[in-house]
Amino acid sequence: MLKASENNYDRALDFARNPPGDKKIAKPSVLGAVLDLGYCLDLTETRYLQLVKTSYEVFTLSAETEGKVIPQNKDVKGSNDKLLRKLDCAVIENLHAAQRSTNLEPFDSVRGVFVEGKELYPGAGFRDKNHIQICIRNPNCIKGFFIPRQEVDWKG
């Protein structure tokens, strides 16, 4: 599985330098990729959000019936953001399992908006770490990769 920040080199590098939790990356870097999202569970679209909502309802009902603990999304130290998204991950994995068990087309990728970080200014709806994240489930969606170059002032 590949996870990526869409068109956001700076956010991707910040994430590599400061991953959530206790794990640190020895040599953080960013790799660019050319992706075809294929059949995408796009969490910016209402119909897919409704699928996720239904998956949550089925997942929690099943967990309660079986006496299982429902995972929770959690903040990490020094942040009020729910960066450890164990519940969200379980709900989405439940949706993927439902697709497989009912012989529906599996999702090749998942795309979602993440609102994170500090307000840009008092009362702002914008945060300093907002980003769009993509998870590639089908490796055939990766068409190529490259080392991103720094932007240059071409107007000179």
**Helix, strand or coil for residue 152?**
coil
Mind listing the pLDDT tens digit for each residue in 64-102?
A: 999 999 999 988 776 777 778 899 999 999 999 999 999
Domain that holds residue 41: 2-146
> Could you tell me the pTM of the whole model?
0.84
Domain count, the chain: 1
**Calpha distance 65→84 (Å, rounded):** 25
Q: Which residues contact 52 (CB under 8 A, 6 or more apart)?
A: 41, 43, 91, 92, 95
**Domain assignment of residue 101, yes or no:** yes
What is the overall mean pLDDT for the chain?
90
**Domain assignment of residue 154, yes or no:** no
**Domain assignment of residue 67, yes or no:** yes
**Domain assignment of residue 155, yes or no:** no
**Domain assignment of residue 115, yes or no:** yes
Low-confidence ranges of the chain (pLDDT < 50): none
**Domain assignment of residue 153, yes or no:** no
Work out the end-to-end distance of the chain between its first and last CA atoms, rounded to an integer number of angstroms.
Answer: 41
